[in-house]
Structure 1
Amino acid sequence: MTIDLCCRGDTEVAQPQSGGSPGCLRRLQRLLKARPTMLLRDGQVRHAALRRAPVAESEIRQAARSHGAGDLSELAAVVLGTDRSLSVIPSDRLGDASSLIDVLDHAG
């Protein structure tokens, strides 16, 4: 049996032999292609990103402590990886920030 994905309003549903639309396929690809997410930038917590991510602000502080940072303002970035790991980049190690090019940033 073949299962296709089709869209109904804002919801994707799996149905046998439904013949999903191209727009629906794009939505599914966005759902399946996880991207790393910026949780902190230039010492400032991205609260909009935290609301979308399964991470508490206390986890950001714990990751900072684990990397020897006593002050969040010492950090250039904390990134939630697709595997739910937290990457901590100190300000003095940011360089040209090329490692952050693919990171989704919900400022705010």
Structure 2
Amino acid sequence: MKPSTEPISITRGQGGEVEVEGVLDSLAADVLRRAGFLFEPTLRGHWIRLPFDMGRDWENERATWAAEMLSAARYPVRLDPDLRADTPEQAGPSRPARPPTMTAQAPPGRQPRR
């Protein structure tokens, strides 16, 4: 089977919903389902979208994750720029999640094992 050269488009619609357009095979559909996209039947096929009112950050994370996974599977993907979730490299350095660990030391008066 020859893969389609038409890109899979992930965009934010006029009503604010995140939707997918393009030719999908079963693997691409499974990736989108795993990312949280819903497949709603319509008269012309399926409307593929994320659930409504989950918040823009959640929608951006899911759309970016789906685009990255589809790209890793070598599908041509076009992700709307305003859907791109901030990656850690773009967000800047963050402080450590927990303080640095300390090495174990023998209690006073006891010789360390060698």
TM-score where L is the length of structure 2: 0.28
Which one has the bigger helix percentage? 1
TM-score where L is the length of structure 1: 0.29
Which one has the bigger strand percentage? 1
